[in-house]
Structure 1
Amino acid sequence: MTATHLIIHGKVQGVFYRDWTVATARCLGLAGWVRNLADGTVEAHLEGERHAIERMIAAMRDGPPRAAPTLIEPREVAEQGLAEFNRR
């Protein structure tokens, strides 16, 4: 198990990016959370198997149909021991 913190830039607010992230993360068996930030980016915390996190980050590069992510900044962090994935 590992954990990754992400900041996602681009057109990621107002396009259902958070709801899509929740659904996709749950399908991949990940725990964590996602939220909008005041500067227009999206912040996420992913916990789970490394391969599932890698698949999630790859999917997040496209996002839902109306989104247009331009940059994802990942960094490994300590696990928070979360049991599910939620929107904050």
Structure 2
Amino acid sequence: MNCCCKKSDLSLIKPVLDEYGDTDGSLITILQHAQEIYGYLPTDVLYCIAERIGVSPAKVMGVATFYSQFRLKPVGKYLIMLCQGTAC
């Protein structure tokens, strides 16, 4: 059995947390920046965000899983998105 658990470089998210970490309602903005940095939202980054902004990891995970824009797994080289809704 292979373990695919690798630690993310948390120093990459530190500037974002320094800029937005103390702002009310900044969770979605922080998650968007984290996803830009890592390409997805690694679990250890979500825990780091929760600790830094003073909310539970469950709340961070709840927001990350509620919005379809956030990815919890790495994606391939090319990302194809398809919308079949009327809003597209």
TM-score by length of 1: 0.32
Q: Which has the higher strand share?
A: 1
Higher gyration radius (CA):
2
TM-score by length of 2: 0.32
